[in-house]
Amino acid sequence: MADVKTRIDETVKANDVVLFMKGTKMMPQCGFSSRVAGVLNYMGVEFQDVNVLADDEIRQGIKDFSDWPTIPQLYVKGEFVGGCDIVTEMTLSGELDQLFDANGVSYDKDAAEKIREANAS
């Protein structure tokens, strides 16, 4: 299990933004992964996708690594951010923009605003 933890740790530290997901950023394999990847893609965020369906050790290992039971899981600058619901809430509240700004992650601010406008009630 240490090998999997090391692989995950190295991936998270080597990339500014990492999304552990079912499928890939271009072909998500579940709705929750699709939503988070869609937000990141729409906002123009460069991110590393890790398909947990392609590796059972990673699929279980990431849950143990973060102590979070579900996938997808978003990491920014080595820190666990959350899953689909948390990322959605942070996108709509502007917290995700603040997180990206604070960590020097480039994204399309206009796209972020369009997401919020489209979801305003």
pLDDT tens sequence for the chain (121 residues): 569 999 999 999 999 999 999 999 999 999 999 999 999 999 999 999 999 999 999 999 999 999 999 999 999 999 999 999 999 999 999 999 999 999 999 999 999 999 999 998 6
pTM: 0.95
Query: What is the Cα 102 distance to its own chain's centre?
Result: 16
Domain ranges of the chain: 2-119
pLDDT of residue 68: 96
CATH top class, domain 2-119: alpha beta
CB 63 within 8 A of CB 72: no
